[in-house]
A and B are shown apart, each in its own frame.
Chain A
């Protein structure tokens, strides 16, 4: 890997591998995908993220060829793939249920796709062995799918879908059936394999942590539309809507009215008798426009005294404390009843907690910590 940051989506010269062009998909009266356009580039690890029923699985099934768009086109490497049946596409899919063939051994499962290609026996054997090595399954080759564990089955499914060296690999909730610890290990394994093979991966998931961990870019979807497509850090730090801010991670939303206060800086009046908040926004807001201040709990500091230099400071009292081991989250109730979450890292072992229930505390954050979102 060179030192250049991998970001083909910022290069106007780069040719996308997959192009959704105004794609709409309807099932009867229900619109699953609504006039959606999207480019995905070669070697990307692209995540489609959204709640169930948002259309992410439909997107994937259209890429695999199990569904065809009602309107619009999907291009793979510049070629319209709508009329191409699933068995003729250079696209393979890893199914959520893994869909391993129960009557075939692990070896034969991986060889299944290669056998359809009229490959010579030696090449085929070599390729299967290579896949077994890649997924560390050599010792299980002769077993049947029901004779191995869930994590191993997941790797078989991956090996089988990668065996034909597809241009594009689709992963439908690939880690959904694994327990948390195994899932985390497997995420890194997936990234590793993606890097080694250089295959473009499109993953469908409803787990935002998973999407953030593995993906080069994340598309947040809702009701058949793309809400935001960006790198994980941009999705998290600069969400473009309340929906995205709320869907990814934990967030405090304060509603108020904006007044310009100089360069990209705004004053937000959010409650009677409370000092206004200060936040920055790259998009211009008109005077008195209603807006939302979105701020992540870990960017809110909590203290007993009012910090002297804080631009934003609000007083409240501790309503609830959630101790998570590495972190503690304080739910602080403001005088008007709003609950603001503040998170602190427990950096010292067995330190005495500074605050307890009903303690009056000050919450503070900097001018750039929050994101201003229009309605």
Chain B
């Protein structure tokens, strides 16, 4: 291990402090005994206990979870299909326009996306609730899935699909039996991305949610306007924990699969 110079040490410390101090403070105060957020009065987990009994929060969490699962699944299906056509469809009329348009929502201000969706739902007379949030989240997260999946498809050896056709598959079978299993990791990470985006979206959800359905970010935001409570801290800490565990697990799994593949390839090369 190299020893870091003092300059690098300071840079590293400052950078990470900037990134993580706010979150660390939040986590520490979620275990605060006192009801006052800024005054430390000893360690306690009572806010976690109260959280579990808070019906409003639990309802919102349940809504958020359902919205995230449905919208990310729908976005994954649509986004994968779009990516497949744009990468594999050859040079059909308007391809450049379409591939440009699919990325536009990435840079579109969320306020505008939310507003236009709200106008649409009012226009067609759709009551705002879980369904409208799911549709809205699908709309904006689909292009993220499409970006992830198409970057995988670009490097995908097309002769694999041709081999499947050559061996008697129809195009649909070739996609189901060969393409999909091979690009599955990209599809899964696209789904996870869409899931996280849906989970923490506040702007679009607040445009498209109705009185019957409130998501967790909206709930937290409106609760905070009445003052930050230790309960919110506890809730946020739980969300951080879930995300951290997920990210670490995902990276460990990928890393182990890669290492195993490398070992296998080296072993195979030795037997040549």
Asked if A and B are interacting partners, one says yes
Q: Which residues of A contact B (CB under 8 A)?
A: 64-66, 85-87, 91-93, 95-97, 99, 101-103, 112-113, 116-117, 144, 146-152, 160-161, 164, 182
Is residue B169 within 8 Å, beta carbon to beta carbon, of the partner chain? yes
A-B contact pairs, 29 of them (CB 8 A): A87-B165, A87-B166, A87-B167, A87-B168, A87-B169, A87-B170, A92-B166, A93-B162, A93-B166, A95-B159, A95-B162, A96-B159, A99-B160, A103-B182, A113-B167, A113-B168, A116-B168, A146-B261, A147-B264, A148-B268, A148-B271, A149-B271, A149-B272, A150-B272, A151-B272, A152-B268, A160-B167, A161-B167, A164-B167
The 10 closest A-B pairs by CB, nearest first: A116-B168, A113-B167, A149-B272, A99-B163, A99-B159, A147-B264, A103-B181, A86-B165, A95-B159, A87-B168
Hey, what's the 0/1 contact readout for B247-272 against A, CB within 8 Å counting as 1?
00000000000000100110111011
Report the minimum CB–CB distance from B129 to chain A (whole Å): 40
Q: A86 touching B162 by the CB < 8 A rule?
A: yes
CB-based nearest A residue for B160: A99
| Contact assessment for A99 and B157 in the assembled complex, using a CB-CB cutoff below 8 Å | yes
Chain B residues touching A, majority SS: helix
Given A97-B157, A103-B182: A146 touches B166 (CB 8 Å cut-off): no
Which chain A residues lie closer than 8 Å to B165 at the CB level? 65-66, 85-87
**Complex formed: what's the CA distance from A279 to B175 in Å?**
62
Residue numbers in B under 8 Å from A102 (CB-CB):
182
A-chain residues with CB within 8 Å of residue B268 when the two chains form the complex: 146-149, 152
Measured CA separation A161–B165 after assembly (Å): 12
Chain B residues closer than 8 Å to A93, beta-carbon distance: 162-163, 166
Chain B residues in 8 Å Cβ range of A117:
168
Given the known inter-chain contacts A99-B157, A102-B182, A146-B264, please indicate yes or no for A164 contacting B168, CB distance below 8 A.
yes
Within 139-171 of B, Cβ neighbours of A (below 8 Å) are at: 157, 159-160, 162-170
State which residues 111-125 of B face A: CB under 8 Å.
Answer: none
Residue of B with least CB distance to A64? B166
B178 at the interface (CB under 8 A from A): yes
Closest chain A CB from B114 CB (angstroms):
40
Complex alpha-carbon distance, A164 and B163, angstroms: 13
Minimal Cβ-Cβ distance residue in A for B264: A147
Question: What is the chain A residue whose CB lies nearest that of B173?
Answer: A116
Specify the chain A residue showing the minimal Cβ separation from B261.
A146
Q: Can you list, as one digit per residue, whether each of B209-242 has a CB less than 8 Å from chain A (1) or not (0)?
A: 0000000000000000000000000000000000
Beta-carbon contact of B264 and A144 below 8 Å: yes
> Which of chain A's residues have a CB closer than 8 A to the CB of B162?
64, 66, 86, 93, 95, 99
List B contacts of A66 (CB < 8 A). Answer: 162, 165
Residues of B within 8 A of A152 (CB): 268
CB-nearest residue of chain B to A163: B167
When distances are taken between beta carbons in the complex, the residues of chain B under 8 Å from A87 are 165-170
Q: Counting chain B CB atoms within 10 Å of each CB, which of A113, A117, A150, A164 scores highest?
A: A113
Q: Which of B163, B167, B178 has the most CB of A within 10 A?
A: B167
Q: How distant is B254 from chain A, measured CB to nearest CB, in Å?
A: 16
- Cβ proximity bits B187-211 to A, threshold 8 Å, 1 near / 0 not: 0000000000000000000000000
**Across the interface, do B163 and A95 meet the contact criterion of CB distance under 8 Å?**
yes
Q: Nearest chain-B residue to A61 (Cβ)?
A: B162
Instruction: Using CB atoms, name the residue of chain B closest to A151.
Output: B272
- Which residue of A is nearest B163, CB measured? A99
Measured in the bound complex, the distance between the Cα atoms of B267 and A182 in whole Å is 18
Contact of B159 among A85, A97, A112, A113 (CB under 8 A): A97
CB of B25 to closest CB in A, whole Å: 46
Interface centre among B182, B264, B265, B272 (most CB of A within 10 A): B272
Residue with the highest number of chain B CB atoms closer than 10 Å, among A86, A91, A99, A164: A99
Taking the closest CB of chain A, its distance from the CB of B183, in whole angstroms, is 10
Asked if residues B166 and A149 are in contact (CB atoms below 8 Å), the reply is: no
Chain A residue, CB-CB nearest to B272: A149
Chain B's closest residue to A178 (CB) is B272
In the complex, residue of chain B having the shortest beta-carbon distance to the beta carbon of A95: B159
**17 additional contacts (CB under 8 A) given A87-B170, A146-B268:** A87-B169, A92-B166, A93-B166, A95-B159, A95-B162, A96-B159, A99-B160, A99-B162, A99-B163, A101-B163, A103-B181, A117-B168, A144-B264, A146-B265, A149-B269, A149-B272, A164-B168
Q: Given the complex of chains A and B, what is the CA–CA distance between A64 and B166 in angstroms?
A: 7
Tell whether, in the assembled complex, residue A101 and residue B178 are in contact, meaning their CB atoms are under 8 Å apart: yes
**Which residues from A are CB-within-8-Å of B163?**
93, 95, 99, 101
The answer to whether A86 touches B264 (Cβ under 8 A) is no
Most interface-central of B160, B170, B267 (chain A CB within 10 A): B160
Give chain B residues whose Cβ lies under 8 Å from the Cβ of A160.
167
Please name all residues of chain B whose beta carbon is closer than 8 Å to the beta carbon of A146 when the two chains form the complex: 261, 264-265, 268
In the bound assembly, the distance between CA atoms of A101 and B165 in angstroms comes to: 13
Which residues on the A side are within 8 Å of B269 (C-beta)?
A: 149
Closest beta carbon of chain B to A366's beta carbon, Å:
46
Are A86 and B157 neighbours in the complex by a CB distance under 8 Å? no
- Cβ A92 vs Cβ B157 within 8 A: no
Give the distance to chain A from B182, nearest Cβ to Cβ, in Å: 6
Task: Give chain B nearest CB distance to A244 CB in angstroms.
Answer: 30
